Structure 1
Amino acid sequence: MKVLYDHQAFTGVPYGGISRYFFELMRSFSKRSDIEFELSLRLSNNDYLDQASFSRHMRYRSLAQVPNAHKVASALNRLYSLQRVRAGKFDVFHPTYYHRYFLDAIGKKPFVISFHDATSERFGKQYPEVGEGLYDLKKLLLRRADCIIAISEFSKQEILRFFPVEPEKIKVIYLGTTLGEHSLVPEQVAPPLQAPYLLYVGKRGLYKNFDGFYRAIQPVLKHHPDLHLICAGGGSFNRDEQTLFHASRLTNRIHYRPATDANLLSLYRHARAFVFPSLNEGFGIPVLEAFSGGCAVVLSNRSSLPEVGADAALYFDPEDDDSIAETVERVVTDDVLNADLRRKGTERLRNFSCDKTARQTLDVYQSLC
C-alpha cells in the first residue's frame, strides 16, 4: 500500500501542531514494512523535517524574509503536488490541509482528510485571522472525502454540529507525542530558571486566552514573590504584552523561551505546573507533552481538554478570573496535590502514542482499498 501526502502543512511554517501531526505519522510509518508513503514537497523550512530522511525538499531559509517568498514556495509546491496526484502512483491520498486543488485530478482514488478543530467556525467572525471563509471549502472536502479522521470525540461532535456529514464516515483517532523520547543535551537547552515557575506553551493571541489568563494570575504572582511565569514558543513578546507586564510591575518575573523540543522537555520537567487556558482545542498536544515531562497540569474546562486530561489534571473556567486564580493557587501551594497530578499524568500518557495513532490511521487507509 502507498499513501501520498501533500505539501500544505509544511509550506511556510517552521513548526506547528498540524505539521507535527503529519510528521509523526510519517516517522512512524517509516519504521513499518507494510506501508509506503510519499511526501510531495519541494520547498520547506519546516523544523521537524530537518530530522527526516523521508523528505527530499530544499530549504530556503536565507530567502524566507523576502516578500512573498512563502507564496511563491506554496505555488511551486502545489504544482508539484498536483503533478504527483495526476501521476496516480498511490492507493490513498491524504492532503495535509484544506485546499481543493486536487479534486479534479484525483479521479476515483480514495482520499482521507483529517479534521483538527472548528476554530474558524466558532471564532471566525470574532477573530477573522483564524480562517473566516473556510466553511464552504471545508464542507466540500468533508463531503468528498472517503473518510474523515477526527482527533478527538469533541472534534467529531464539532464536525457533526457544523457540517452535513454522516457520523459513520468519521473515525476518531487520538494523537500522541514523542517529546519524552528526546535526550537532553545541555548545550542545546536554555539554562533552567532557579525559581519556581508556571509554564505557558504556544501562541498567545485570540482564543488562546493568554490575556485573560495573565490578568487572572497577577494576584497569585503577587502573593508568591518567588513565583515566575515562562512562556515557551508563540514568538517573542510584542509591544502590547511588554506594556501589560510593565503596568502590572511584574516584568522581571515574566520570561520568554524558544520552543525547541529540548527546551520544552526541560521546561516541563522543572515547572511547578503547566497551565493551558485556551477556549478551544481540537486535541491539545501540549497536555501530552506536559505529562511526558512529569509536569502537573492545569487546564481550561472547555473543548477537548477534559477528554484528553481526564482525572490527571485540574480544571478551571477560562472566562472566570477567580476560577483560574484559585485553581492555580491550589497547584502552587499543595505539594501533595501537585505530586498526585504528576503521577496521574504519567499514567494517563500510557493511553496515547504516535505509533498507536499510526496503526489506527493505517487501518483507515486499508479499509479504503
Structure 2
Amino acid sequence: MKILYDGQIYADQITGGISRYFTNIITRLPQTAQPTLTASYRKRKSNYPTHPNLKLQEFPDFRPSRIAHSVRSHYFRWLNERQSFDIFHPTYYFLLAGETFSQTKHPLVITVCDMIHELFSSTLDPKGYTIRAKQAAIEAADTIFCISENTKNDLIKYFPAAESKAIVTYLASEFSSEWSYGTEATPAQPYFLYVGGRTKEYKNFDTLLLAFAKVASTSPDILLCVVGAPFNNAEQQQIAELRLTERIQHYRNASDTHLAKLYRCSIAFVYPSLYEGFGIPPLEAMACGTVVVAANSSSIPEVVGDGGILFNPKAIGDLTDILLDLIDSPTKRDRLITKGHDRCQQFSWDKTAAQTVAVYQSLS
C-alpha cells in the first residue's frame, strides 16, 4: 500500500499536536506500507516520522519567497503526478502543491482535529481563509477522521453532509513516568502546572490566574509553573496586578523528559480550556503520575473520564476550592493518580494507527 502524506503541517510547526499525530501514525504503519512524505525544507528541522520504507521528498526553499513558492508548488505537483498512490492523507487543509482538493486523483482521507476556526472565527479566522479551505477538504474527502466524539458532533453541526463519512479515532500519549527522573530543574517549592498555548479566546488562562491568586493569598509557599511561550504585555500586566510576579515560574521550552518531570513533581496539572478537539496534555499528565484538574467542556471529559477532577471552566471559585483542597489532601491525590494511570491506558497510538490503516485498506 502506497500512501502519500502532504506534509504542510511540518512546514508550519516544529512540534505540535497535529505533527505529533501524523508522526505516530506513519511510524506505526505496517512494514509492508510505502509512505511518502512531502515537506518544505526549514532550517530548524521538524520531528519527521521514521519508517523503514519512508520516502521524504523535501523541497529546499530559497529567496525570493514569491518565486520559491511557485517553483515549490510545481515541484510537488510533479511529484504527486509521477507516482501512483493508493491513499492520499494530507496533514492540513492547504497543500504544498497548491492544488485544490477537488483535483486529487487518489482516494482522499483527511483528519479534522477541531472546529476552532468556525467557533472563534471573528478572531482566529476573520477572513474565512482556513474555514473555506477546510470545507473544500471535507467535501472532497472519502473518509474524515475526527479525533473525538465532540469534534465529530461539531463537524456535523457545521457540515451535516459529512456525517456518513466521519469516524472517530482518538489520540494518545507516549509519555511515561519513567522519563521523569532526569536531572532537569523543577521549582523548589510546591507548584501547580500549566502547559501549552494561552490563546485568549478559548484557552481560559485568565481563569487559572484569578483562581491561583486566591490560592496564593492563603498558601504563601505555592507556585504556579507555566510552560509555553513568553508572557505578552497584557499577561504581564495582569500577573503584576494580581501580585503574582514572584509566584509564577516560567519555562519557555521543555524537552519531553523535562516536561514529564514537571508533570510528576507537581501538585496537579490544571487544564482550564474552554474548547479542545481532544487535549493530549491531560493524558501526558496522567501517564506521568500527577493529578489532572480539567475543564468540563468540549472533548475534555472524553479524555479525562473519572481519571481526574472536572470543573466548570467559568467558575473561578470552584477551581480555587479544588486547588486548595488538593494542597492538603495527599491521600486524595494518590487515589486520583492511580485512577488517572488506569484511564490513560485506554488510549494508545497503536490502536489509533490500526484503525487508520483499516480505513486505508478499505479505500485502496
Common fold by TM > 0.5: yes
Partner of 1:195: 189
Partner of 2:33: 35
Partner of 2:20: 20
Question: 1:37 is paired with a residue of what secondary structure?
Answer: strand
Gaps of 5+ in 2: none
2:221 to 208, 226, 248: 226
Does residue 276 of the first structure (1) align with residue 306 of the second (2)? no
**Structure 2: which amino acid aligns with 1:92?**
I
Between stretches 256-265 and 174-183, larger displacement belongs to 174-183
Partner of 1:112: 109
Between stretches 161-170 and 346-355, larger displacement belongs to 161-170
Partner of 2:101: 103
What pairs up with 1:253-292 in 2 under 5 angstroms?
253-257=247-251, 258-292=253-287
**Structure 1: which amino acid aligns with 2:155?**
I
**Deviation at residue 331 of structure 1 after TM alignment:** 2.5
Question: 2:226 is paired with a residue of what secondary structure?
Answer: strand
Between stretches 332-341 and 171-180, larger displacement belongs to 332-341
Partner of 1:328: 323
Partner of 1:239: 233
Partner of 1:298: 293
Partner Cα separation in structure 2 for residue 231 and residue 55 of structure 1: 38
Partner Cα separation in structure 1 for residue 163 and residue 295 of structure 2: 27
Partner of 1:342: 337
Question: 2:39 is paired with a residue of what secondary structure?
Answer: coil
Taking structure 1 as reference, are residues 39 and 344 closer, same or farther at Cα in structure 2, changes over 3 Å only?
same
Output the aligned Cα RMSD: 2.7
Partner Cα separation in structure 1 for residue 308 and residue 8 of structure 2: 34
**Deviation at residue 144 of structure 1 after TM alignment:** 1.1
**Deviation at residue 20 of structure 1 after TM alignment:** 1.1
Partner Cα separation in structure 2 for residue 348 and residue 59 of structure 1: 42
**Deviation at residue 14 of structure 1 after TM alignment:** 1.6
**Structure 2: which amino acid aligns with 1:40?**
T
Partner Cα separation in structure 2 for residue 357 and residue 50 of structure 1: 16
Question: 1:99 is paired with a residue of what secondary structure?
Answer: coil
**Structure 1: which amino acid aligns with 2:132?**
D
1:179 to 175, 179, 186: 175
Gaps of 5+ in 1: none
Partner Cα separation in structure 1 for residue 295 and residue 37 of structure 2: 36
Note if contact 1:3-1:38 (Cα within 8 Å) is conserved in structure 2.
Answer: yes
**Deviation at residue 87 of structure 1 after TM alignment:** 2.2
What pairs up with 1:64-213 in 2 under 5 angstroms?
78-99=73-94, 101-107=99-105, 109-125=106-122, 127-128=123-124, 132-180=128-176, 183=179, 186=182, 189=184, 191-206=185-200, 207-213=202-208
Partner Cα separation in structure 1 for residue 35 and residue 317 of structure 2: 50
Partner Cα separation in structure 2 for residue 333 and residue 309 of structure 1: 23
Partner of 1:248: 242
Note if contact 2:279-2:303 (Cα within 8 Å) is conserved in structure 1.
Answer: yes
**Structure 2: which amino acid aligns with 1:25?**
I
Note if contact 1:273-1:332 (Cα within 8 Å) is conserved in structure 2.
Answer: no
Give per-residue Cα distances to partners, 1:293-320, cap 9 Å, x unaligned.
1110000011000011000111111112
**Structure 2: which amino acid aligns with 1:195?**
Q
Question: 2:270 is paired with a residue of what secondary structure?
Answer: strand
Taking structure 1 as reference, are residues 347 and 130 closer, same or farther at Cα in structure 2, changes over 3 Å only?
farther
Partner Cα separation in structure 1 for residue 268 and residue 60 of structure 2: 38
Note if contact 1:41-1:55 (Cα within 8 Å) is conserved in structure 2.
Answer: no
Partner of 1:362: 357
**Deviation at residue 364 of structure 1 after TM alignment:** 0.8
Taking structure 1 as reference, are residues 39 and 272 closer, same or farther at Cα in structure 2, changes over 3 Å only?
same
**Deviation at residue 217 of structure 1 after TM alignment:** 2.0
TM-score by length of 2: 0.89
Taking structure 1 as reference, are residues 49 and 76 closer, same or farther at Cα in structure 2, changes over 3 Å only?
farther
**Deviation at residue 80 of structure 1 after TM alignment:** 3.8
**Deviation at residue 220 of structure 1 after TM alignment:** 0.9
Equivalenced residue count is 357
Taking structure 1 as reference, are residues 181 and 320 closer, same or farther at Cα in structure 2, changes over 3 Å only?
closer
Question: 2:32 is paired with a residue of what secondary structure?
Answer: coil
Between stretches 176-185 and 164-173, larger displacement belongs to 176-185
Partner Cα separation in structure 1 for residue 59 and residue 221 of structure 2: 43
Instruction: Give the % identical residues.
Output: 34
Partner Cα separation in structure 2 for residue 321 and residue 272 of structure 1: 19
Question: 1:312 is paired with a residue of what secondary structure?
Answer: coil
**Structure 2: which amino acid aligns with 1:199?**
L
**Deviation at residue 336 of structure 1 after TM alignment:** 1.9
Note if contact 1:82-1:102 (Cα within 8 Å) is conserved in structure 2.
Answer: no
**Structure 2: which amino acid aligns with 1:148?**
I
Taking structure 1 as reference, are residues 80 and 272 closer, same or farther at Cα in structure 2, changes over 3 Å only?
farther
**Structure 1: which amino acid aligns with 2:27?**
R
Give per-residue Cα distances to partners, 1:166-188, cap 9 Å, x unaligned.
4231110001111228745846x
Partner Cα separation in structure 2 for residue 102 and residue 225 of structure 1: 57
